[in-house]
């Protein structure tokens, strides 16, 4: 009996094996529309199967992020000072664990109104980095008071929550740096203060996390490097993209030569709203009595008190590094992280003030081309602050090209030598990615502004670790603190920062002087 059943089953299996593509089509043809649909689905599944079997086994990208030291209650508590609490300062403070109570209230309200908004959940789950803020400094009274309230909100609660005592407010950054109860500082000031404050902090023996760009001028760049190295402090430049998961995948893919010989990189900035063009709101409580104007000016050219210049300082060369130092540096650092580009051999720039006729001196459209003849490639940067046309980042190789942001996709090139046989066999479709990485594919979140959309799309707001969404700046500050505790170099250390600063300055000089500039590597100078 059992032998008969086995024979019958074997006959059925053999019949199924002999079922031809023509038989499938013939049976599906009895319901023409549905049949065509299912055959299309069948073909799609077959293609996917071929793709996985023929390509993914070859690629095998892990792209694991470096392990950041875990902060534990037993680790040394680090005492922080916050210098600058305007736009970026509050974000850095939140990433270290200190949010203004009103910000917490806004997150709670948004989460109640929109179930897709996970920011409050993410913030509550953010790791405690075992730090305390002992001092704050800002030249605007309101900003300084906000910094104190954020620092005292150690329980991450709203206005009605319990806070600790306010940290001391220092009137000048030099007074803060002289304090004995501060080990390290976070600098989030206008560009023209980054260099002087970092130098002073290093000489005072304070570790430094400084927002990008590294410096406002070329000469101070060398002085910053010297101060950091001579005083043996741990320095981290604020390029939080160093923590973006897709960048690690991209680096591994390139190291495995999946793109072939890379010859061209295109990186872009496209923004089209006042905030994205640095037309920030002016606080109604701001006036000459609440702002220390002369301390804001510092080494910049003297100018009469101006609320526009104070709040929208990025629009003037007097305090800013323009598109080169602000947004180009994010793009450059991403490519430098992935491709180890270093400083380019030359740079040329063009552009102008084409849309925002508001008295600014920095361009709102900029194009810069960096040449790397030793690497046989060019990196092109193109920016506009008056169009949201998506262009993204593309790394082009002979065999494939990579589109990179928070996600990463690799497409075979139709003229590829490496993938030609699989393209001819129909295994690879050049219109479909041969590899696609989408972190947290099931996660949905509310993005509250066009500027946030811009940064989120580039992986600069959040990334993933073990499938869990994490703030990239939180990880970057955590890495800096872990490096202080372990006396190690963080990922965007002073050497990486030097490359970033010189590259950005080359682009700026090329624009301002309307000429091609070069890097003299032997003498370590721009010519």
- Per-residue pLDDT of 46-87, as tens digits, reads 655 555 555 555 566 776 676 676 556 568 899 999 999 999
* 249 within domain boundaries: yes
Dihedral sign, CA of 471, 477, 481, 482?
A: positive
Q: Are residues 258 and 388 in the same domain?
A: yes
Counting the structural domains of the chain, the total is: 2
252/225 same-domain check: no
Q: What is this structure's pTM?
A: 0.86
pLDDT of residue 49: 59
Residue 477 and residue 96 in contact, taking contact as beta carbons nearer than 8 Å = yes
Q: Please indicate, yes or no, if residue 3 is contained in any of the structural domains.
A: no
Domain of residue 465, CATH code: 3.30.360.10
The domain in which residue 400 lies consists of 244-469+495-526
Neighbour count for residue 50 (Cβ, 10 Å): 15
In CATH, what number is assigned to the domain containing residue 135?
3.40.50.720
Give the confidence band of 469 by pLDDT, cuts at 50, 70, 90: confident
Residue 327 CA to residue 384 CA, distance in Å, equals 11
pLDDT for 32: 53
Q: Residues 203, 127: one domain?
A: yes
- Asked, for residue 405, whether it belongs to a domain, the answer is yes
**215 and 123 together in one domain:** yes
Whether 335 is in a domain gets the answer yes
- Considering the domain architecture, whether residues 218 and 249 belong to the same structural domain is answered as no
Instruction: Establish if 278 belongs to a structural domain.
Output: yes
- Structural domain includes residue 121: yes
Cα–Cα distance for residue pair 25/32, rounded to 1 Å: 10
Report the b/e string of 166-183 with b at 16+ CB within 10 A.
ebbbbeebeebbebeebb
Rounded Cα–Cα distance for residues 447 and 424 (Å): 42
Of 200, 221, 241, the residue that ends a domain is: 241
Task: Say if residue 11's pLDDT is above 60.
Answer: no
Whether 2 maps to a domain, the answer reads: no
pLDDT score of 52:
54
Give the per-residue pLDDT at 6.
44
**Of the residues 213, 241, 269, the one at which a domain ends:** 241
Query: In which region does residue 278 sit, left (phi positive, over 0), alpha (psi from -120 to 50) or beta (all else)?
Result: left
Do 112 and 248 lie in one domain? The reply is no
Same-domain check for residues 342 and 235:
no
pLDDT given for residue 406 in this prediction: 80
Helix (H), strand (E) counts: the chain:
20, 18
- Residue 447: what pLDDT? 36
Any idea what DSSP says for residue 55? I
Confidence of residue 35 (pLDDT cuts 50, 70, 90): low
One domain, residues 131 and 156:
yes
Q: Is the pLDDT of residue 317 over 90?
A: yes
250 and 216 in a single domain? The answer is no
Taking 50 as the threshold, does the pLDDT of residue 264 lie above it?
yes
């Amino acid at each position: 009996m059992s032998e008969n059943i086995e024979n019958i089953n074997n006959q059925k299996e053999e019949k199924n094996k002999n079922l031809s593509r023509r038989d499938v089509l013939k049976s599906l043809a009895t319901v023409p529309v549905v049949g065509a649909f299912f055959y299309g689905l069948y073909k799609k599944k077959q293609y996917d199967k071929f793709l996985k079997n023929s390509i993914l086994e070859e690629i095998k990208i892990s792209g694991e992020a470096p392990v950041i030291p875990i902060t534990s209650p037993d680790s040394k508590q680090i005492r922080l000072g916050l210098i600058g609490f305007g736009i970026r300062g509050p974000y850095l403070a939140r990433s270290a664990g200190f949010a203004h109570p009103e910000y917490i209230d806004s997150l709670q309200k948004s989460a109640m109104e929109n179930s897709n908004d996970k920011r409050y959940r993410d913030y509550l789950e953010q790791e405690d980095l075992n730090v305390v803020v002992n001092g704050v400094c800002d030249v605007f009274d309101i900003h300084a008071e906000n910094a104190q309230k954020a620092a005292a909100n150690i329980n991450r609660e709203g206005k009605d929550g319990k806070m600790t005592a306010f940290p001391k407010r220092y009137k000048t950054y030099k007074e803060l740096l002289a304090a004995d109860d501060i080990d390290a500082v976070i600098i989030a000031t206008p560009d023209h203060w980054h260099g002087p404050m970092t130098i002073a902090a290093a000489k005072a023996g304070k570790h430094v996390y400084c927002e990008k760009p590294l410096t406002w001028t070329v000469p101070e760049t060398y002085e910053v490097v010297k101060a950091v190295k001579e005083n043996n402090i741990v320095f981290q430049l604020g390029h939080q993209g160093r923590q973006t998961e897709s960048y690690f995948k991209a680096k591994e893919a390139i190291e495995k030569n999946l793109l072939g010989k890379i010859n061209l990189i295109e990186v872009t900035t496209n923004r089209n709203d006042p905030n994205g063009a640095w037309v920030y709101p002016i606080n109604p409580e701001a006036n000459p009595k609440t702002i220390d104007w002369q301390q804001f000016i510092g080494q910049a050219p003297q100018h009469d008190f101006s609320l526009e210049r104070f709040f929208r300082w990025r629009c003037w060369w007097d305090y800013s590094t323009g598109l080169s130092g602000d947004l180009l540096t994010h793009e450059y650092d991403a490519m430098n992280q992935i491709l180890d580009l270093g400083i380019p051999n030359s740079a040329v720039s063009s552009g102008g003030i084409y849309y925002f006729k508001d008295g600014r001196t920095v361009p709102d459209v900029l194009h810069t081309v960096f040449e790397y003849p030793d690497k046989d490639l060019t990196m092109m940067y193109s920016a506009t602050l008056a169009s949201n046309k998506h262009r993204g980042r593309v790394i082009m190789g002979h065999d494939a090209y990579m589109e990179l942001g928070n996600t990463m996709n690799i497409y075979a090139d139709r003229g590829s030598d490496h993938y030609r046989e699989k393209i001819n066999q129909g295994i690879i479709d050049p219109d479909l990615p041969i590899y696609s990485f989408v972190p947290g594919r099931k996660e949905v979140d509310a993005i509250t502004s066009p500027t946030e959309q811009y940064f989120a799309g580039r992986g600069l707001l959040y990334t993933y670790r073990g499938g869990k969404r994490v703030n990239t700046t939180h990880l970057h500050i955590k890495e800096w603190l872990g490096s202080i505790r372990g006396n190690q170099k963080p990922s965007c250390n002073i050497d990486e920062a030097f490359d970033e600063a010189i590259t950005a300055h080359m682009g700026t000089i090329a624009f301002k002087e309307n000429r091609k500039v070069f890097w003299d590597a032997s003498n370590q100078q721009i010519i």
